[in-house]
């Protein structure tokens, strides 16, 4: 012990700093002789959807075989975490992935600011050099387009049909071939709905998720192509006046239980005998309500007018290439492999029921296979036939706020209608819709981008 003290006695910095200095020298020498191997990963892809993760991981080996020496790391990042982590990564220019999937309602917030400040590259020039631009359902670019630049490839189309209990429709004498318009549908609803026991359709009186399906179907939306707010225009008001009596008041034909577990029981017990069904939700039904196999069927949505659009859209995902990516050409190859391989897309449809936006893929046999669950219908062909009539959803950095404000409008309007019926309802709805729109406009005015 005396020898150790003596060893440090002649060092002016003292014992503790000297020990740290020695450890640093030894560590540096070790790292010099035994360097840490650099990661072999060429590109990282973030996705927020577990079903996407499995598909992409299955697709990675064939990509790596076709591109020797390239390694792709597909990571599952929770949707909320994608939002916060990606934003922080862009701000700090650290840990930015090369490719990212974003949910449709959150994508617009990443297009805020000047074009040079957006963290994604513009894919339009690349798309224009390929055949893919004309092969993709055009309206699916809308949510990921800002000031003429396309920042994301659409993963899906998400056409909406009407899923129904075929057995109950038949028992109740409902002829689906006679349902062409929503007026036809509502007449049936007023006949067969028994308040508290049976409703013709599942519809929410406090969320915009069902309301906006009707809004999009009528060529409305929260914003237009130029980014102008439209959530309080005449189309929105007319849609609100149409929608609220369906979910509130003595003649309502819709209800909502607010729980996936309760929804499953409601369908099984005939409490709901139909529901709005985008392609992805048809897989949810198969998974969560397996006892209904053979008793379910799908039809196009009723139209607002005879001969008009019989579908809408709900949800969506984009894939973007970040500006931080050191090899955009390789990233584009990954995007093409994951999103545009016809055989892979056919297999994914079998697994997920999600219709891809690449029209060429719809000729794959998977889209013409009868499905036992859906009473032998060719589910893929029904959705594919609706796909090119899917309306656009226009994005904005404030789309999430607009949807939140619309939820409040729906809730207060439903409460008013339950208490007062038609008496003063139009003026009340107009006033609340305008107030919500003006709140969003105040935020827009603060940021010209």
Percent of the chain exceeding pLDDT 70 equals 91
Answer for the pair 156, 313: CB distance below 8 angstroms, yes or no: no
State how beta strands 296-300 and 160-165 pair.
antiparallel
pLDDT tens for residues 415-439? Answer: 999 999 999 999 999 999 999 999 9
Predicted confidence band of residue 8 (pLDDT cuts 50, 70, 90) = very low
Answer for the pair 413, 124: CB distance below 8 angstroms, yes or no: no
pLDDT reported for residue 13: 52
d(CA 292, CA 160): 20
81: pLDDT strictly greater than 90: no
pLDDT reported for residue 37: 40
29: pLDDT strictly greater than 60: no
39: pLDDT strictly greater than 70: no
Predicted confidence band of residue 21 (pLDDT cuts 50, 70, 90) = low
Predicted confidence band of residue 243 (pLDDT cuts 50, 70, 90) = very high
Domain boundaries, the chain: 43-157+316-387, 160-313+392-446
352: pLDDT strictly greater than 50: yes
Answer for the pair 298, 370: CB distance below 8 angstroms, yes or no: no
pLDDT tens for residues 127-142? Answer: 999 989 999 999 999 9
Beta bridge partners of 291: none
pLDDT tens for residues 141-175? Answer: 999 998 899 999 999 999 999 999 999 999 999 99
* Angle, vertex CA 310, rays to CA 237 and CA 296, nearest 5: 115
pLDDT tens for residues 49-65? Answer: 988 999 999 999 999 99
d(CA 89, CA 97): 9
Percent of the chain exceeding pLDDT 90 equals 79
User: CA–CA distance from 76 to each of 73, 115, 324, 354, 364 (Å)?
Assistant: 10, 28, 19, 19, 28
pLDDT reported for residue 4: 46
b/e sequence 303-321, b meaning 16+ C-beta within 10 Å: bbeeeebbbbbbbbbbbbb
33: pLDDT strictly greater than 80: no
Which distant-in-sequence residues (6+ apart) come within 8 Å of 321 by Cβ?
98, 99, 120, 121, 123, 328, 331, 332, 335
Q: Is the pTM above the cut of 0.75? A: yes
**DSSP letter for each residue of 228-297:** -B-TTSHHHHHHHHHHHHHHSSTT--EE--S-HHHHHHHHHTTSBSEEEEEHHHHHHHHHH-GGGTTTEE
Q: Among 351, 440, 444, which residue's Cα sits nearest to residue 403?
A: 440
Predicted confidence band of residue 36 (pLDDT cuts 50, 70, 90) = very low
Same fold, 43-157+316-387 and 160-313+392-446: yes
Q: How many residues does the chain have?
A: 449
294: pLDDT strictly greater than 50: yes
Which distant-in-sequence residues (6+ apart) come within 8 Å of 435 by Cβ?
none
| Average pLDDT score, the chain | 91
Which distant-in-sequence residues (6+ apart) come within 8 Å of 177 by Cβ?
none
Q: Among 4, 28, 26, which residue's Cα sits nearest to residue 16?
A: 4
Q: Among 54, 72, 55, 51, which residue's Cα sits nearest to residue 63?
A: 72
Q: Which CATH superfamily includes the segment(s) 43-157+316-387?
A: Periplasmic binding protein-like II (3.40.190.10)
Q: Which fold does the domain 160-313+392-446 belong to in CATH?
A: D-Maltodextrin-Binding Protein; domain 2 (3.40.190)
78: pLDDT strictly greater than 90: no
d(CA 37, CA 26): 19
């Amino acid at each position: 012990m005396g020898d150790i003290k003596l060893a440090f006695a002649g060092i002016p910095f003292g014992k503790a700093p000297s020990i740290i200095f020695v450890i640093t020298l030894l560590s540096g020498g070790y790292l010099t002789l035994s360097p840490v191997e650099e990661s072999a990963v060429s590109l990282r892809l973030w996705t927020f959807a577990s079903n996407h993760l499995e598909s992409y991981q299955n697709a990675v080996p064939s990509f790596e075989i076709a591109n020797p020496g390239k390694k792709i790391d597909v990571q599952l990042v929770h949707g909320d975490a994608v939002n916060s982590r990606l934003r922080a990564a862009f701000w700090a220019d650290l840990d930015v992935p090369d490719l990212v999937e974003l949910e449709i309602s959150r994508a617009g917030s990443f297009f805020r600011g000047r074009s040079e400040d957006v963290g994604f590259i513009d894919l339009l020039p690349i798309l224009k050099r390929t055949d893919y631009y004309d092969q993709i359902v055009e309206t699916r670019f809308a949510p990921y387009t800002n000031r003429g630049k396309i920042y994301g490839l659409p993963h899906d189309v998400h056409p909406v049909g009407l899923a129904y209990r075929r057995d109950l429709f038949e028992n109740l004498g409902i002829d689906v071939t006679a349902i062409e318009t929503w007026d036809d549908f509502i007449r049936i609803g007023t006949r067969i709905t028994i308040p508290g026991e049976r409703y013709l359709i599942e519809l929410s009186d406090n969320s915009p998720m069902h309301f906006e399906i009707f809004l999009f179907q009528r060529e409305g939306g929260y914003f237009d192509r130029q980014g102008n707010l439209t959530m309080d225009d005449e189309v929105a008001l007319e849609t609100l006046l149409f929608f609220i009596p369906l979910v509130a008041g003595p003649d309502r034909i819709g209800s909502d239980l607010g729980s996936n577990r309760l929804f499953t029981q409601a369908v099984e017990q005939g409490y709901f005998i139909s529901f709005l069904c985008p392609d992805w939700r048809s897989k949810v039904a198969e998974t969560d309500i397996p006892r209904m196999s053979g008793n379910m069927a799908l039809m196009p949505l009723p139209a607002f007018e005879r001969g008009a659009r019989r579908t809408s859209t709900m949800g969506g995902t984009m894939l973007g290439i970040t500006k931080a990516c050191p090899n955009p050409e390789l990233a584009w190859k990954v995007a093409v492999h994951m999103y545009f391989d016809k055989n892979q897309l056919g297999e994914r449809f079998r697994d997920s029921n999600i219709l891809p936006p690449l029209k060429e893929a719809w000729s794959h046999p998977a889209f013409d296979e009868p499905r036992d669950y859906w009473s032998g219908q060719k589910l893929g062909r029904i959705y594919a036939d609706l796909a090119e009539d899917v309306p656009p959803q226009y994005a904005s950095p404030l789309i999430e706020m607009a949807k939140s404000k619309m939820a409040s409008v729906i809730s207060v309007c439903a409460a008013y209608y339950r208490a007062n019926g038609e008496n003063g309802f139009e003026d009340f709805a107009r006033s609340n819709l305008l107030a919500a729109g003006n709140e969003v406009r105040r935020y827009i005015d603060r940021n010209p981008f």
